Structure 1
Amino acid sequence: MIKLRGHHIFCLLGYRGMGYSEEYAENMTKIQITLRTQPDTLIQIIKGPDDLCAKFPEGQPYHCEDKGIYVRDSEILKRLRLTFSDVLPWREVERRIRVEILPSDIATICETCSWRSFGYCEEGVERVIESKGLKKVDKM
Structure 2
Amino acid sequence: MGYSESFVEKMNEIVTDIRDGEKDFDIRVVAGFDEACSACPHKGETLCSGNVKSNDKVMGLDRRTIDHLGLKAGGVYKKSYLVALTAEKVEPDDLDQICAGCSWLEYGVCKEGIASLREG
TM-score, scaled relative to structure 2: 0.83
1:14 paired residue number: none
Structure 2 unaligned blocks of 5 or more? 44-48
The secondary structure found in structure 1 opposite 2:61 is helix
Identity of aligned residues (%): 27
2:5 paired residue number: 22
Cα deviation, 1:88-110, whole Å, max 9, x if unaligned, reads 12111111112211100111221
Amino acid at match of 2:89: E
Structure 1 unaligned blocks of 5 or more? 1-17, 132-140
Amino acid at match of 1:108: Q
2:119 paired residue number: 130
Is residue 49–residue 64 contact of structure 1 (8 Å, CA) maintained in 2? Answer: no
Higher relative contact order (CA 8 A, sep 6+): 1
Alignment of 1:23-102 (within 5 A): 23-37=6-20, 38-57=22-41, 61=50, 66-102=55-91
Is residue 30–residue 62 contact of structure 2 (8 Å, CA) maintained in 1? Answer: no
Aligned residue pairs total 114
Change beyond 3 A, Cα 1:63–1:40:
farther
RMSD: 2.2
Amino acid at match of 1:24: F
TM-score, scaled relative to structure 1: 0.72
